[in-house]
Chain A
């Protein structure tokens, strides 16, 4: 080996070697993907068809990241590559192995964007979500610039790029709340493997959540009150005979920490506030809940004197309330009474959000139970982390306040049974920091080898659990190109004003001309196989034509969520297609479209 080659080896080998496990993991992962047959999924979801490669990759990446975090001097670039790779490994499987964008809601959201692009306006009286149209307006704009077809691809890959986007403000938040780089990277890792709630698809929540994270990141980076605790006061408290030790610790915790960090000039700070206000305006314009989670977080920090901002939390509150009060009147007219009834009904909210979800097939109930255990265990660990750090004299009240700030919203409403999911989502960034602190926030740092090994084993186990919790509904969320093709053909021939009937809303429809049709799910009739009742619904004289759309994903939904016995859906479809009351006008491998036998609607070529 020449001197030059030796020099190159000495320079590059130490740089590239830490990435070797990542490269190996990506290769193993990519090799395993073609063997995934999503059509064979059972009610446990994607994990039931994942090859061994994915599990091995999780272990390789976790061990490698754990090794990096165990080094005396951690390499942030190498850890960044690990975190990005983990995000791709965990979130890119569905867009790669599935034919089209997952989840029926994604297709409806594409339809809302299509409506705005086509008409140049919104329709708040037709669709409640149009009362907060910001995301759909942005999507329509992107669709018109990039092409409507590309919007479908953008929607398909949303979980991947949103989770990558989340990393930027999350890193800033962790950096603003702790100076320990190990906690920062470990918390990012934990976030990736615990964000199971799936609110990162093509939806207003994902974009609004990103903006919430940016606002919180700006606040904790540049607007935290930084005031060192007074040794004199602490010593005086500790000198007290009764409870002095506890009071001393309490004083330390309640005094804002002086973590130093990046500073801005006064003018830059004002400009930064301007950016925050603009972002919050977009959040208020885009999503129902996120503005209130943002206000709750800022008010919690303001009340406990953690932030130097005084008027901005009030300004955000005014903006959020003003939007709801003035711009969502069509929504309020239909919902205000029920919303007021939900205020304070915590037990009802918990029942809607938790207990009523444990239903459906046995495998699905196992998935839901695992999610509950996952959630409670993480919150419990975060509580343990907070207590340990409190005991160690760390002043983490800001983290605890931000983690707890979403909780009071449970007093306000059930949010259609999804509020607990949102509480989890909005507390997650701070919960993961508190958990990471259990391992990396204590002495010795880096921790002992045994501690690191236990942490890696624990993180690997969470990674496996994530695959169940996150993708436990994948059989329901899976949409096929045949189903999309059937609905596209339906939209081509169904006259405007027609009635479209389906067993549930779980199919890829409403993605174009959604306002021109009425959509009716006939779930109860399908469950008892009452074909005459379905025919009665379709016979409504109000509509020129009625179409019954039966697709694979509707059958899966009925089996998983309502516990319809396996095979019942196929029997129902066979009964419907052979019934003299209906005639089949279109059929492909995953879908049938039927009309009433006496209908003048033509067959779809």
Chain B
């Protein structure tokens, strides 16, 4: 399963242009980030005995997503300048 997903992902990445990748992956990333950030805030406010655990879980996903988001934005900016 894992190897199939990896192969499919690699194939998709290699067969797409930079623009298409930057747009599709970037937009998906923005949507995922937005949903997770909202969900994290909502979880904090709603509380409950597992709220802290959920916040940690969200952070595990959010930190790398934020990093990738800024890399993509920077890459798009560089492409515009160059």
Contact bitstring A272-283, B, C-beta under 8 A = 1, else 0: 011001000000
Contact yes or no, A315 B34, CB < 8 A: yes
Contact yes or no, B73 A311, CB < 8 A: no
Contact yes or no, B80 A332, CB < 8 A: yes
Give Cα A340 to B40, complex, Å.
Answer: 34
Contact yes or no, A315 B41, CB < 8 A: yes
Partner of A322, one of B30, B46, B80: B30
* Stretch with Cβ within 8 A of B (4 or more), from A147-155, A262-270, A480-488, A518-526: A262-270
Name B23-71 residues within 8 Å CB distance of A.
23, 26-27, 30, 33-34, 37-38, 40-42, 44-47, 66, 69
Partner of B81, one of A314, A315, A336: A336
Write the nearest CB–CB distance from B42 to chain A, whole angstroms.
5
Contact yes or no, B37 A266, CB < 8 A: no
A273 neighbours in B (Cβ, 8 Å): 38, 41-42, 45
B72 neighbours in A (Cβ, 8 Å): 325
Contact yes or no, B34 A326, CB < 8 A: no
Q: Which residue of A lies closest to B42 (CB)?
A: A270
Contact yes or no, B38 A318, CB < 8 A: no
Q: Which residue of B lies closest to A324 (CB)?
A: B73
Contact yes or no, B46 A267, CB < 8 A: yes
Name A305-331 residues within 8 Å CB distance of B.
309-312, 314-315, 318-319, 321-322, 325-326, 329
Give Cα A277 to B42, complex, Å.
Answer: 12
A35 at the interface (CB under 8 A from B): no
B81 neighbours in A (Cβ, 8 Å): 336-337, 340
Max chain A CB contacts within 10 Å: which of B45, B73, B81? B45
A600 at the interface (CB under 8 A from B): no
Partner of B37, one of A311, A321, A333: A311
Contact yes or no, A319 B34, CB < 8 A: yes
Contact yes or no, A318 B34, CB < 8 A: yes
Contact yes or no, B77 A310, CB < 8 A: no
B41 neighbours in A (Cβ, 8 Å): 270, 273, 309-312, 315
Give Cα A187 to B42, complex, Å.
Answer: 33
Contact yes or no, B26 A326, CB < 8 A: yes
Given contacts A326-B23, A333-B80, contact A269 B45 (CB under 8 A): yes
Give Cα A41 to B41, complex, Å.
Answer: 55
Write the nearest CB–CB distance from B14 to chain A, whole angstroms.
23
Max chain A CB contacts within 10 Å: which of B30, B41, B44? B41
Interface size class of A (residues with CB under 8 A): 20 to 34
Q: Which residue of B lies closest to A315 (CB)?
A: B37
Write the nearest CB–CB distance from A222 to chain B, whole angstroms.
10
A325 neighbours in B (Cβ, 8 Å): 26, 72-73, 76-77
B45 neighbours in A (Cβ, 8 Å): 266, 269-270, 273
A329 neighbours in B (Cβ, 8 Å): 80
Partner of B27, one of A319, A321, A326: A326
B73 neighbours in A (Cβ, 8 Å): 321-322, 325
Contact yes or no, B46 A266, CB < 8 A: yes
Q: Which residue of A lies closest to B40 (CB)?
A: A311
Name A246-302 residues within 8 Å CB distance of B.
266-267, 269-270, 273-274, 277
Write the nearest CB–CB distance from A60 to chain B, whole angstroms.
48
Give Cα A329 to B81, complex, Å.
Answer: 11
A269 neighbours in B (Cβ, 8 Å): 45
Contact yes or no, A311 B23, CB < 8 A: no
Write the nearest CB–CB distance from B43 to chain A, whole angstroms.
9
Give Cα A277 to B33, complex, Å.
Answer: 13
Max chain B CB contacts within 10 Å: which of A311, A312, A319, A322? A311
Write the nearest CB–CB distance from B69 to chain A, whole angstroms.
6
Give Cα A326 to B69, complex, Å.
Answer: 12
Give Cα A310 to B76, complex, Å.
Answer: 28
Give Cα A573 to B72, complex, Å.
Answer: 55
Write the nearest CB–CB distance from A190 to chain B, whole angstroms.
34
B69 neighbours in A (Cβ, 8 Å): 318, 322
B40 neighbours in A (Cβ, 8 Å): 310-311
Give Cα A273 to B73, complex, Å.
Answer: 26
B residues bordering A, Cβ < 8 Å? 23, 26-27, 30, 33-34, 37-38, 40-42, 44-47, 66, 69, 72-73, 76-77, 80-81
- The 10 tightest CB contacts between A and B, nearest first, are A315-B37, A311-B41, A311-B37, A322-B30, A311-B40, A270-B42, A325-B73, A336-B80, A269-B45, A266-B46
Offer 9 A-B interface pairs, CB within 8 angstroms, sorted by A.
A312-B41, A318-B37, A318-B66, A322-B26, A322-B73, A325-B77, A326-B76, A336-B81, A337-B81
- List 11 other contacts, CB 8 Å, given A273-B41, A318-B66, A336-B80: A266-B45, A266-B46, A266-B47, A269-B45, A310-B41, A312-B37, A314-B37, A315-B33, A325-B73, A336-B77, A340-B81
